Chain A
Amino acid sequence: MWFFRSPDVIFGADSLSYLNNIDAKRIVIVSDKNIQHAGLIEKVIKNLPDNVEVHTIDDIPVEPDFDDITQHMDGIRSFGPDYFIGVGGGSCMDSAKILFALYERPDISVYDITPIVKLGLRKKSHLIEIPTTSGTGSECSWAAVVSGKNEKRKNELASPEILADYAILDPEMVLSLPLNQTISTAVDAMTHAIESYVSSWSNPYSEALAEKGLFMVSHSIMDVLKKPGSLELRNNVHIGASMAGLSFSNSQIGLAHALGHSLGAVFKMAHGTAVGIFLPHVVSYNSLEVDGKYSILNNLFPEDIKGKNLHDTLIKMFKVINQPLKISDLNITRKSFDDNLNTLIELAEDSTGITMNPVEAGREEIKELFVKSFGD
């Protein structure tokens, strides 16, 4: 027995206008300053039904800790929303999930948000997620990543009940996404598809979404970088990334995410850049076990980029789109890497991505992967 879970997905040009149909009176928008400045919150508000009251939170930091999120609880409780709308990248959407859960259940702690506790949400409100990047998949996932207070380690909260009711994928919301973020989030999306496809929790539903998601992202990302203003190309990557998100959410992520979370926690960098550094190495590491599956995925890449195996294809593709290939490309010195190697290994060992990777990885294997990924 296993499940397939998904929000209602509203996609394509003009999908923001769907918001006009929701039966809402009081809405909390969860977002950040950059999204505010880019005019994207205003875009959302313009599409809401008339006469709704909106309470906007626009100060979610790039890597929020629990306090950054929960400090808003009093304001939310006195406002009394019937809808939460997360607008942004992974942090904003994840924060919306957590605020929604804590508003529904004032009696629980964030640590109760695990897949093995029944929360009984949706007694008072609902959750909509609107991504402004194409990659995190948070709009379709039931996970939320939050830093601990003064802790390097990231907490990976998860519960099927924090899955959004609606995910709205409007390509207008990513049209002005800067190129560096377009690249790192697309790499994240491809990593989701590939890791989910070979995870020990993979299943026919997650596999179908991984295949199509990877196809769509890999066939459009290089063109998006040439024509970032193309709504059609942006739409392809946006939908593909969301499919990859739906895929891993119904399966699991793997070793590249475990290593990437760790690297990102020690040396600050974009999440997609971090997981992408490890992906080709993890593919080589896993390939004895899941080579057949990898060759199916390899065939989904565009002909002109396809190498003799998935590892080679990824290297080729990453070179074309300027995704760094080694840790030493990231302004991290050998010394600082060596000084932090133990912490890196320990953080990776703690990450859930390790558990459902198709090939077991212990301390030694993790260390070897880190060292290999550092490069020269």
Chain B
Amino acid sequence: MAIFPSPEWADEYVKKLNSNESYKDSGKTWEDTLTFVIEPDEKYNKTWYLYLDLAHGECRDYKYSDKEDGVPKATFIYKGKYSNWVKLINKEIDPIQGIMTGKFKLEGQMMKIMRYTKAAKDMVNTASMVDTQFEA
């Protein structure tokens, strides 16, 4: 059981992502860096960054920090409040609908990410596979 967000959670997430066959397939032509940003709200009072270096269906490197400059600058940033991340991990929010309803923000080249909606969905599905404990 890993607390979200935490270094243990990140380790577990990347392990699961790298053994996810579906992601290996859907992400095989995708090469980019992406940072998940967990923003504070009434249930969580810090900001947390998880940087992922993705290449061909694999995460070849990752870094986490509670400071923005603690991780490298990524080509894509996907950020939202802690409670919305909880909903995302629990599959109550779809990652793209999350953006369209303003619960998440995506920074980066939009059209490119729209080509990889399946990979994005697999990444979120992977987060749901981590045995997660939420802080509050």
Contact = CB atoms under 8 A, between A and B. Distances in A.
A360 B20 CA distance: 14
Contacts of A3: 100-101
A1 B101 contact: yes
B21 A117 contact: no
B110 A362 contact: no
24 contacts: A1-B101, A2-B101, A111-B110, A111-B111, A114-B111, A115-B99, A115-B100, A116-B99, A116-B100, A116-B114, A155-B111, A156-B114, A200-B94, A349-B25, A349-B118, A350-B115, A352-B114, A354-B117, A355-B96, A355-B117, A355-B118, A360-B22, A362-B21, A362-B22
B16 interface: no
- Pick the most buried of B97, B106, B109: most chain A CB atoms within 10 A of its CB: B97
Q: Is the interface of A mostly helix, strand, loop or mixed?
A: loop
B65 interface: no
Interface string B70-85: 0000000000000000
A58 interface: no
A362 B25 contact: yes
Interface residues of B, number: 22
- Assign chain A's interface to a size class: 20 to 34
Given A2-B101, A116-B110, A350-B115, A201 B94 contact: yes
Interface in B96-126: 96-97, 99-101, 103, 106, 109-115, 117-118, 121
Contacts of A354: 117-118
Contact of A112 (B100, B111, B121): B111
A363 interface: yes
A322 B100 CA distance: 40
Contacts of A2: 97, 101
A115 B96 contact: yes
B26 interface: yes
A321 to B, nearest CB: 33
Interface in A333-376: 349-350, 352, 354-355, 360, 362-363
A350 B30 CA distance: 11
Nearest to A361: B118
Contacts of A116: 96, 99-100, 106, 110, 113-114
B114 to A, nearest CB: 5
Contacts of B103: 1
A294 B110 CA distance: 34
Nearest to A346: B29
Contacts of B94: 200-201
Contacts of B25: 349, 362-363
Contact of B110 (A117, A201, A350): A117
Nearest to B26: A349
A114 B21 contact: no
Interface string A190-203: 00000000001100
B110 to A, nearest CB: 4
Interface in A103-157: 111-112, 114-117, 155-156
Interface in A1-58: 1-3
- Pick the most buried of A114, A116, A362: most chain B CB atoms within 10 A of its CB: A116
Nearest to A364: B25
A112 B22 CA distance: 28
A268 B109 CA distance: 31
The 7 closest A-B pairs by CB, nearest first: A111-B111, A114-B110, A355-B117, A116-B99, A1-B101, A363-B25, A355-B118
A120 B96 CA distance: 20
B98 to A, nearest CB: 10
B100 to A, nearest CB: 5
B60 to A, nearest CB: 21
A114 to B, nearest CB: 4
